[in-house]
Structure 1
Amino acid sequence: MVNDSAGAVPFAISFDKAGRMPVAEAKDSTVSTYKVRADGTLRVVQKSLPNGQDTLCRLERAGDFFYGGNTGNSTVTGYRTDRHGKLALTNDVGVATPPSAKSQGVIDLAVTKDQKVLYVRNATSGTVDGFRIGRNGSLAKVGTTTGLPPFAESGMEGIAAV
């Protein structure tokens, strides 16, 4: 089954609690949301919501919130979803957490099973940041693990959380 994308360069998908499918679109750092029909076709629920950042490449869900990793400028964007599957930014600037000197090259995200912590893999700096997820979707940094091989040295990607 082939479906046209509502946005340019679809890169990562996730699913909300109702089975709708938000898709991160890298070219313009946008997210579109789809409902998957029984026949495999997609119906657009929401067209390309921009986050104002650079190169959205990852998307992870934590309850009613989604977090997007913007590789181009090393930021994480927060989104909240309503009961109809429409997304909105958790704040007006599109950044749930800004980059730091130790956190460059956001490449992968993972949420713990209890949906209380978000981990962010930073490929350029070889670090992982941990964030506590607030009730309103805000992120509070709890620490940074250093000493991982940077992407250029190892090609290492991926992160998992339990």
Structure 2
Amino acid sequence: MKRQIQFTLNGKPVTADVAPHETLLDLLRDTFQLTGAKETCGLGLCGVCTVLVSGKPVSGCLHFASSIDGEEIVTIEGLETEEGLHPIQEAFYEQKAFQCGYCTPGMILMAKKLLEENPNPTEDEIKDYMVGNICRCASYAQIFAAIQEAASLLKQEKVKL
């Protein structure tokens, strides 16, 4: 039996009817056509399905949609600003921190949370924080450089994460 939930999705209030077994990832992709987060492992181990639920990174493939009633959800599609790309997205682009791009949305959202908690991380702190996000293409050096560049951009632009 489906249940109606209300939540904020990328800054906009929305309503959805969800089944008890429906995952947040399925809700985002199937109901709202937000395809940035993807399912890869289905076990919450790879980070590709990462989305932010009230500011906390979660594995969308494991998180039940019914549990987000009243929450604030941010996906990669919600990061872009009126001026264009978010500074973290800009840094990933400038550093070529992607090859196939499959892991990029999860990496960027996890980097956002890292930079909220630690605006000036060392490379070791970045590596430790990003350990749950896997890149099959092994673009880690560029990803870590992009996060450091994003930290610099955010300081210069004084942008709210």
- Superposition TM-score, scaled by structure 1 size: 0.28
- Superposition TM-score, scaled by structure 2 size: 0.28
Bigger RCO of structures 1 and 2 (CA < 8 A, at least 6 apart) = 2
**Of Structure 1 and Structure 2, which has the larger fraction of its residues in strand?**
1
